[in-house]
Amino acid sequence: MRLLTMMTGATLALAGCAAPQREAAPHPIGLSPAQIRSVTYATTPCHGFCPVYSVTIGADGAGVFTGTRNTAVTGERRFTATARQVTDFFARLHPYLPVGERLLTGPETCKTYASDLPSADVTWTGAGGSGHLVYDYGCDRGGNQALAEALRGAPQALPIADLIGKR
């Protein structure tokens, strides 16, 4: 009995060491990250020194970064992302990607609104259709915190940090 107790305790201890698999949250209308074929992610200017750029990435990993302002490089640069990087980038965005258009910009569409902040403009295409999301970081900041964090963090999945530079 004592041996059984020790084995059970060891099994439970080892089970606690297993890293949980990070699964993408279910999409409200059933879109899966595997259905996404390409994403264009762009940032807009703010009242300050926010990096302004766009990045387009295909499911095959072929990407184009275009630095516009306050980035380490300006102009177009091609890059290749690994399958894991593309999957991570798509998974970070997919819970928020609409089929159709969703605009969260300005006092007309936001309960509370802080001006002079940048926006993220995301367009996607794929087997499940296509969509366009624009989120102004000043729109309902408390209620859109998860969305804002996902949008800010998504580019970190791609090999473009040296192109963006300091934030």
Closest to 72 measured CA to CA, from 162, 158, 167: 162
Helical (H) or strand (E) element with 15: helix 2-17
Question: CATH: 3.90.950.20, 3.30.1560.10, 3.40.50.300, 3.10.580.10. Which one for 32-164?
Answer: 3.30.1560.10
What residue segments make up the domains of the chain, in order of their start? 32-164
Report the pLDDT value the prediction gives residue 66, as an integer from 0 to 100: 98
SS3 (DSSP) at 19: coil
pLDDT of residue 59: 95
Dist CA 148 CA 145 (whole Å)? 5
pLDDT band at 32 (very low <50, low <70, confident <90, very high): low
CB atoms within 10 A of CB 46: 18
User: Per-residue pLDDT averaged across 6-35, rounded?
Assistant: 45
Percent with pLDDT over 70 in the chain: 80
Instruction: Give mean pLDDT, residues 130-143.
Output: 95
What is the Cα–Cα distance from 125 to 4, expressed in whole angstroms?
55
Per-residue pLDDT tens over the stretch 106-118: 999 999 999 889 9
Least reliable range by pLDDT among 15-24, 29-38, 75-84, 144-153: 15-24
